[in-house]
Amino acid sequence: MITAAALLGAIAVLLAWPVPLVLARSAWPARSPAVALVLWQAIALSGGMSMIGSLLVYGLVPFGDALPQSIAALGGDLRAGILPAGTSFTHVLALGAAILLGTHLLLNLLATFVRAERQRRRHHALIALLSDPLNGQPGMRVIDHPAPVAYCLPGAGHSATVLSNGLLRLLDADQVRAVIAHEQAHLVQQHHLVLLAFKSWHSALPWFPIANRAENAVALLVEMLADDHARRIVDDHTLARAIALVGFTLAGAIPPPGSEADAAVASPSLPGRARSGRAQPAEPEHPAHQVMPRVARLMNPTVPLGYAATTGALTVSAVLLAGPALILFAA
């Protein structure tokens, strides 16, 4: 039991800081965002399981030599109102921490999903009142707003893709097609569920530095996944221009001179630059720190991970998920 607790604790420490830090700083996730997203989810699940499991197993050490036996003994001792010999304050503290942490994470996850569903329902009701269909296309809505806004609104049986008049004026027809394909990819691939899970982790542990880093990394990966779907509809340069135009217009800025984003929007036919020097400030849907790597990835395409690297990353993900479970089973 002590060995199992130590192993789980070591895994939890590794997955709480050094491993996610290395992954967040790596360049390869941009080459295969789907593989990187699987790895991030495995790290989050394995890290949480290891953290809670380590505390639980250590706390149960005085109650027996195997996990099932210890849990049964704990229940019997609690009903009898006694504790076995050798039970220390640290054992009680570890048990309490495991129960509190597990409950906190689960309840926070549930609350995050409930709040998100309520917000989506209210948003759907507002969109139904304040928007018009796009050329009679079901699921496509247009709102009267000067800022170039595009987003997807998931829902059970009534998902919507929302565009603004400002976006339709800013982009040409091909760029609008790229934006629509991007947003519809979010809906089809259910990216909002992945984002909510990592948002829940961050909100449950706001003091945990890697939670914020993981949420940001995953948010960028799902954008890249949607970009990969959109680039099947339009060419990379058209998609890069659309991303740069919308992102920097919303941020009320212009791309840094000499950057990939600057090259993407350098065409003389650029609508935004032809009209004004700086765009109207607005709250960006995708911050500039996400726009730049997405545009750079499209302007300088790289080869996806090879078969061996992909298999290795997915194998690591499977080991991360199975390892803590096997350690707990053998404890």
Query: Quick check: 45 pLDDT over 80?
Result: yes
Q: Each residue of 184-209: pLDDT tens digit?
A: 999 999 999 999 999 999 999 988 87
Per the CB < 8 A criterion, the answer to whether 150 and 164 are in contact is yes
Q: Each residue of 155-170: pLDDT tens digit?
A: 877 899 999 999 999 9
Sole residue written with tokens 């409950």? 103
Please tell me the predicted confidence (pLDDT) of residue 63. Answer: 93
Query: Quick check: 25 pLDDT over 90?
Result: yes
Per the CB < 8 A criterion, the answer to whether 43 and 214 are in contact is yes
Q: 150-153 and 160-164 as β-strands: parallel, antiparallel, unpaired?
A: antiparallel
Query: Quick check: 182 pLDDT over 70?
Result: yes
- The pTM assigned to this predicted structure is 0.89
Question: Nearest 10 degrees: CA dihedral of 155, 170, 270, 301?
Answer: 0
**Dihedral sign of CA atoms 233, 235, 238, 243 in order:** positive
Q: Specify the higher pLDDT residue, 292 or 267.
A: 292
pLDDT class for 49, splitting at 50, 70, 90?
A: very high
Per the CB < 8 A criterion, the answer to whether 248 and 254 are in contact is yes
Which class for 97: exposed (0-12), middle (13-18), buried (19 or more C-beta within 10 A)?
Answer: middle
Q: Compute the mean pLDDT over every residue in the chain, rounded to the nearest whole number.
A: 89
Residue type, position 187, single letter: L
